[in-house]
Amino acid sequence: MSKSTQAARGERQPGGRRHYATGEASRERILEAAERVLARDGYHAFSTRRVAHECSISVGNLTYYFPTKSSLIEALMQGIYDRYERRYTELRPAEGQDSPDWLAEQVTKMLQDAVDTEATGLFLELWIMARHHGFGAEVINRFYEKSAHAIARAMSREYPDRSHQELLRVAYFLMTLGDGVCAVFSRLGDRSVGHDEIVPLAIEAIKGLLENRHDGV
């Protein structure tokens, strides 16, 4: 396949960057390129020029879709959080899967995602963005609130005797654990306790909250 054909189809070229024929970018393609730039270069090196170069278009073509850097950043943040939120809304236990097994699986996945190199790098940069842009905090707050409700609804299928508010508190606790794991274990370096030792503790804590009623939950 020729390079021109690859570019027209937006295929990945050596070096990891996708190439699109000049002028053929779309809003979706620009946001994909912006996410790659953010994850690779970080917020402080993020610019519309770098995103345009990543997408093989002119800055003018990019600003047709996103007139300002702030509008691009807001759309990027919202798109990433929407993607993760959809993952929570699609949580379903497998046919015949026991509640404790399903719960352990979900907690393990969330805490593993929290130390995934690509995901953690991306979320750390998103938190930085939120400090520099007023809309960033609003986007993050909406993400946590909507995700917590989605997680609570998923848990209600396995724990129907618990109220939504009870499950919502557990969901927020789980997300707090995930963010804490991201902050503590996402960076390289030796620690006295490993991430793999934290996951079983988290599973037991969440199980205890859901399976043993006591005041405050």
Question: Would you give per-residue pLDDT tens digits along the chain (217 residues)?
Answer: 433 333 333 444 444 444 444 444 589 999 999 999 998 899 899 999 999 999 999 999 999 999 999 999 999 998 988 888 887 777 766 666 677 788 898 899 889 888 876 677 788 888 888 888 888 888 888 888 988 998 998 888 889 999 999 999 999 999 999 988 888 887 777 889 998 999 999 999 999 999 875 544 5
Fold of the domain spanning 3-67:
Arc Repressor Mutant, subunit A (1.10.10)
Predicted pLDDT at 170: 95
Predicted pLDDT at 213: 59
Calpha distance 184→199 (Å, rounded): 13
Q: How far is CA 2 from the centre of its chain?
A: 35
Helices within 42-163 (DSSP H only) = 48-55, 59-65, 69-89, 99-113, 117-132, 134-158
Beta partners for residue 12, in sequence order: 18
Predicted pLDDT at 93: 62
Q: Which of 37, 80, 82, 78 shows the shortest CA–CA distance to 56?
A: 37
Predicted pLDDT at 131: 83
Residue reference for tokens 């499950």: 167
Predicted pLDDT at 192: 93
Predicted pLDDT at 29: 93
